[in-house]
Amino acid sequence: MGLLISKLWSMFGNEEHKLVMVGLDNAGKTTILYQFLMNEVVHTSPTIGSNVEEVVWRNIHFLVWDLGGQQSLRAAWSTYYTNTEFIIMVIDSTDRERLAVTREELYRMLQHEDLSKASLLVYANKQDLKGSLSAAEISRQLDLTSIKKHQWHIQACCALTGEGLYQGLEWIYKTKRKKRKTPVFPGICEKYVLCFFIMRRNIHKCLEILQTKKFILYEKQNKLFFFFF
């Protein structure tokens, strides 16, 4: 039984977890995305609409949506929120004049019902530039400590060198692992009336079902079956 449960978690670990990356224009979002992918600087143009790439960190697959930050595009951010588990907000730490705009966009975003369970990572980017605000100062001006309904973390970084970026991913990884520790196997019963095969793409929904059912886990020909009573 323990071996089969381990296999189930292995399948779950290979699932893609949705992450949206937002921020004002010229904050460095796309540069960060391609640092994740290639570990090098890629010269980019302002994002019109969105970019999407798969980023793998410590065997967790993230589908990262990089959303354009121009004022005319921000209203469309909410169309990407469904099923989002993590939000990355990238901030240009030298852009003092628009920090109030960033704060307004942040709290508008956190009020959206589709993000009610999402965790927040703030990247205080461009720390290599003279006059940049520290992560602590940005946290104070954004009043991050007032956020109670979402797990959050702020990370100083430099997209051009990669400094601080992977510390942010590590926070996401640890946060994801903590969420996994919630028990999803409530019990085992010898009687059953339903046989259910969990396919890889449906496993997240099926795990939600398992939280309210008693079941027997059964393996045959490398397939996992659940018998619910």
Residues serving a catalytic function are: 70
Question: Binding site annotation covers 202?
Answer: no
Question: Binding site annotation covers 47?
Answer: yes
Rounded to whole angstroms, the Cα distance separating 168 from 185 reads 31
31-54 pLDDT tens trace? 999 999 887 555 555 566 788 889
| Cβ–Cβ < 8 Å for 104, 137 | no
Question: Binding site annotation covers 59?
Answer: no
Q: Quickly count: other Cβ atoms within 10 Å of residue 115's Cβ.
A: 21
Report the Cα 14 to chain-centroid distance in Å.
15
Question: Binding site annotation covers 28?
Answer: yes
- The ranges of the chain with pLDDT < 70 are 1-15, 40-48, 180-229
Packing angle, helices 2-13 and 203-210, rounded to 10: 140
Rounded to whole angstroms, the Cα distance separating 220 from 206 reads 19
213-229 pLDDT tens trace? 555 555 555 555 555 55
- Residue 79: its pLDDT value, please? 95
Closest to 9 in 3D by CA, of 184, 126, 134, 153: 184
Closest to 28 in 3D by CA, of 40, 44, 48, 39: 44
Domains and CATH numbers, the chain: 9-181 (3.40.50.300), 187-228 (no CATH)
